[in-house]
Amino acid sequence: MKKNLVSINDFSKEEILHILELAEEFEKDPNQRILLGRVVASLFFEPSTRTRLSFESAINRLGGRVIGFSDTANTSVSKGESFHDTIRTISNYSDLIVMRHSVEGAARYASEISPVPVVNAGDGANQHPSQTLLDLYSIRKTQGTLDGIHIMMVGDLKYGRTVHSLLEALSHFKTRFTFVAPKELEMPAEYKQHLDVRKIAYTETDRLDQYINDVDIVYMTRVQRERFLDLMEYEKVKNAYILKNAILAATKDNMRILHPLPRVNEIDTDVDTNPKAYYFNQTENGVYVRMAIISYLLGVKK
Ligand code: CP
């Protein structure tokens, strides 16, 4: 039976740990030709740099082939072809589909149409599970463990699919959460309920400086202009947090700054050379983790 990665909840804790082990193997030896003869469709209905290109890099390094699009303008979607027919057709041309779409639930719907596995590369404000796996990989690599980490999530916690998926995954690992957001962009109630049910502690504040010296990971996010219906609301919160070197002076030695990227202005570029900045290393980890996800879903690595 085919397996999809649409939500991070599609993988058990054991499967998550298995993916991280596989990614470690790929980091040590990234040029394995285990996808020879396989074709992966890369369907980006919404813009992307890291997710699309790291998936495509992962597939190429493993000897597979990529087909797809990064913009629907030159596809028959522009002639009015339905999402259903697009996915049903492309599933005849490929062994696995990686897709991003602005509509929440689009990847789940695709997984119901497609006879080949579907990986959700981001659906609206909902989920971004491959990002979560690379975030977990990055946390474990920098902290030596996933258990008992104190993570501070900062910025757009309302529309940020990366923080939604990451919260759910970290709830397997006795994590402490601090949420830093303006009132308008607070973590939605359903995710706080997820933590309540699991008796996991979280703290909420609108101040970046309040708990920063106590955390192991600062997970910055961009305020996403494209998710706002009213741009006046975006203007009010777009500069809510800007991380600068001064605020990092008394943070823990092991503390690392993660960001799924792209960045707009929420991390000052001076921070890039701070040894605690890890966000560009994080992008490299994405290739190894995506090698692991594809290999696992195609059954070419046990
Ligand atoms: N982190 C992430 O999803 O980046 P892209 O939008 O560039 O893919």
Q: Summarize pLDDT for 89-131 with one digit per residue, the tens.
A: 999 999 999 999 999 999 999 999 999 999 999 999 899 999 9
Given its phi and psi angles, is residue 99 left (phi above 0), alpha (psi -120 to 50 degrees) or beta? beta
> Structural domain boundaries of the chain?
8-128+284-297, 129-282
pLDDT tens-digit series, residues 135-183: 999 999 999 999 999 999 999 999 999 999 999 999 999 999 999 999 9
Question: Given ligand 1 and candidates 45, 48, 119, 264, which is best to mutate, with the most ligand atoms within 8 Å of its CB?
Answer: 48
The residue to which tokens 């597979």 are assigned: 64
Q: What is the mean pLDDT of the chain?
A: 96
Between the CA of 250 and the centroid of ligand 1 the distance, in Å, is 30
**Contact (Cβ atoms closer than 8 angstroms) between residue 108 and residue 3:** no
Beta bridge partners of 177: 151, 202
Categorize the per-residue pLDDT at 302 as very low, low, confident or very high, splitting at 50, 70 and 90: low
Q: What is the DSSP letter of 253?
A: T
Residues flanking ligand 1, CB < 6 Å? 48-51, 122, 131, 260-262
In whole angstroms, what is the distance from residue 17 CA to residue 11 CA? 10
In whole angstroms, what is the distance from residue 215 CA to residue 159 CA? 23
Structure confidence at residue 1 (pLDDT): 86
Beta strands in the chain (DSSP E): 39-44, 65-69, 96-101, 118-123, 150-154, 176-180, 202-205, 217-220, 256-258
- The answer, as to whether pTM is greater than 0.85, is yes
Structure confidence at residue 136 (pLDDT): 98
pLDDT tens-digit series, residues 33-61: 999 999 999 999 999 999 999 999 999 99
* Helix H or strand E encompassing 21: helix 13-28
pLDDT tens-digit series, residues 207-231: 999 999 999 999 999 998 888 888 9
Atom of ligand 1 nearest to the CA of 122: 3
Between the CA of 25 and the centroid of ligand 1 the distance, in Å, is 24
**Contact (Cβ atoms closer than 8 angstroms) between residue 182 and residue 159:** no
**Contact (Cβ atoms closer than 8 angstroms) between residue 294 and residue 35:** yes
Categorize the per-residue pLDDT at 248 as very low, low, confident or very high, splitting at 50, 70 and 90: very high
256-258/96-101 β-pairing: unpaired
Q: What is the DSSP letter of 121?
A: E
Between the CA of 261 and the centroid of ligand 1 the distance, in Å, is 6
Topology classification of domain 129-282: Rossmann fold (3.40.50)
Which pair of structure tokens corresponds to residue 83? Answer: 């999402």
Domain 8-128+284-297 superfamily per CATH: Aspartate/ornithine carbamoyltransferase (3.40.50.1370)
